[in-house]
Amino acid sequence: MGNPLVNSLSLIDTSGIVIITTICLLLVTGVVLTVWIRARYHAMENELRRLGDTPGGFDNPVLSRIVREALTAQRGGAEVNTQAIVDQSFQSELRALLVGERFVKSMTGLVIILGLVGTFYGLSSSIGRLTSLLSGKVPATADVTASLTQGLTETLSGMSVAFSASLFGIVSAIVMTLLGVFLNIGDKRLELMVQIEHYIDNVLLSIARPQPSEPQRGSLVSAGGSSAASSSRLEGAVHGFSDSVARLEGAVASFEQALSTFSSSTRDFREFNHHLKDNIQRMSLSFGDLSDSLRQQATAISSTMRGRERS
C-alpha cells in the first residue's frame, strides 16, 4: 500500500498535471528570482561598503552612472537631487530586476489563483462524469461491474485534480510568503538606495565640493575694501530693517486705534437702538391713546346725529 498522496496523484488526468506542473514551475521561478535579485543588490552593497568613506570609482555600471551624474550636476552649479538621480538610474539600468521584483511580489496571488482554477476544473469534471454514470450514458461493456468501476475511477480522478491543485497552490503561496518575510527584495532595494544616497551626499559631494582658497598677500587691500563695503551694506540693511520695524509699529498702532473707534461706534449704535426702542414704545402708547380718543369722539358724534334725526 503506497502513499495516499502519491496514489491520488496517479489519478490526475492530463489537464490536472498541466495545472500542477505550472504551479510548481512558478514556485521554482519565484524562489530563483528572489535569490538572484537579492544577490545582485547584495553585490552592489558590498562594492559600496568596500570604499567606505573614501570616494573612488565603481565597477558596477549603475553606481558609476549615479556618481557621474551627481558630479555633473554639481559642476553645473545646480542643486543635486540625489534621490531623483538614484531612482532614474535604477529605472534605466536595473529594469529587469524591477520587473522580476514585481513578478515575485504577485507570485503568491498567482499560485493561489491557479490552485483555484484546478479546483474548479476538477470539480466540474467530476460532476460531469458522475452525471453521465448515473444517467447510464457510459460505453456499453460486457461487465457492468467493470463499467461502474471505470466510471467511479474517472469521477475520483476529477476530485483528485481539484484537491491536489488546491494543495499545491496553498503550499506554494506559503513558501512565497515566507520568502517575502525573510528575503524581502523590496526592502533590500530600499536599503541599498538609502546607502547610495548617504554615500553621494556625505562622502562624494562633500569632498568634491570646492573649498574657499586662502587670500593672497597682494589682495589684502582689496579684501579690506571688500570687507568695508560689506560692512556698509550690512549697516544699510540694518537701517532699512529698523525703518521697516518702525513702519510696522505705526501700522499696528493705527490698527489698534481703528479697533477702538469701531468699538466706541458700536457702543453708540447699541445705545441708539436702546433709545429707539423706548421711543417706539412711547409712540405706540401715544397712538393707543389717540385711537381711544378718536373712538370716543366717533361714538359721541354718532349719538348726536341719531338724536337730530329723531327730532
In this structure, the answer to whether residues 199 and 272 fall within a common structural domain is no
Give the Cα separation of 89 and 83 in Å (integer): 10
In this structure, the answer to whether residues 151 and 29 fall within a common structural domain is yes
Query: Does residue 236 fall inside a structural domain?
Result: no
Q: Residue 200: exposed, middle, or buried by beta-carbon count in 10 A (0-12, 13-18, 19+)?
A: buried
Residue 143 CB neighbour total at 10 angstroms? 9
Query: Does residue 230 fall inside a structural domain?
Result: no
147 is written with which cell numbers?
463499467
pLDDT tens digits for range 31-41:
999 999 999 99
Find cell 492530463 and name the residue.
Answer: 14
**What is the per-residue pLDDT for 257?**
73
Q: What is the DSSP-derived secondary structure letter of residue 52?
A: T
> What is the Cα 124 distance to its own chain's centre?
42
Q: Which residues contact 229 (CB under 8 A, 6 or more apart)?
A: none
**What is the per-residue pLDDT for 170?**
94
Give the Cα separation of 116 and 132 in Å (integer): 24
**What is the per-residue pLDDT for 223?**
44
Residue 122 CB neighbour total at 10 angstroms? 25
Query: Does residue 145 fall inside a structural domain?
Result: yes
- From residue 148, alpha-carbon distances to 128, 155, 270 in Å are 15, 10, 105
Q: Global pTM? A: 0.59
**What is the per-residue pLDDT for 1?**
47
In this structure, the answer to whether residues 107 and 180 fall within a common structural domain is yes
**What is the per-residue pLDDT for 58?**
79
**What is the per-residue pLDDT for 97?**
92
pLDDT tens digits for range 49-105:
887 666 667 788 888 888 888 888 888 777 788 888 899 999 988 999 999 999 999
Residue 23 CB neighbour total at 10 angstroms? 27
SS3 135: coil
Give the Cα separation of 41 and 190 in Å (integer): 10
In this structure, the answer to whether residues 198 and 52 fall within a common structural domain is yes
Helices (H), the chain: 4-9, 14-51, 61-75, 82-93, 95-105, 107-134, 144-182, 185-199, 205-208, 220-310
Structural domain including 265 reads 244-306
Q: How many residues does the chain have?
A: 311
**What is the per-residue pLDDT for 221?**
38
Dihedral sign for Cα 48, 76, 216, 225, please: negative
Query: Does residue 235 fall inside a structural domain?
Result: no
Residues of the chain predicted below pLDDT 50: 1, 212-224
In this structure, the answer to whether residues 154 and 76 fall within a common structural domain is yes
Q: What is the DSSP-derived secondary structure letter of residue 77?
A: T
In this structure, the answer to whether residues 106 and 175 fall within a common structural domain is yes
> What is the Cα 261 distance to its own chain's centre?
52
Q: How many domains are contained in the chain?
A: 2
In this structure, the answer to whether residues 66 and 193 fall within a common structural domain is yes
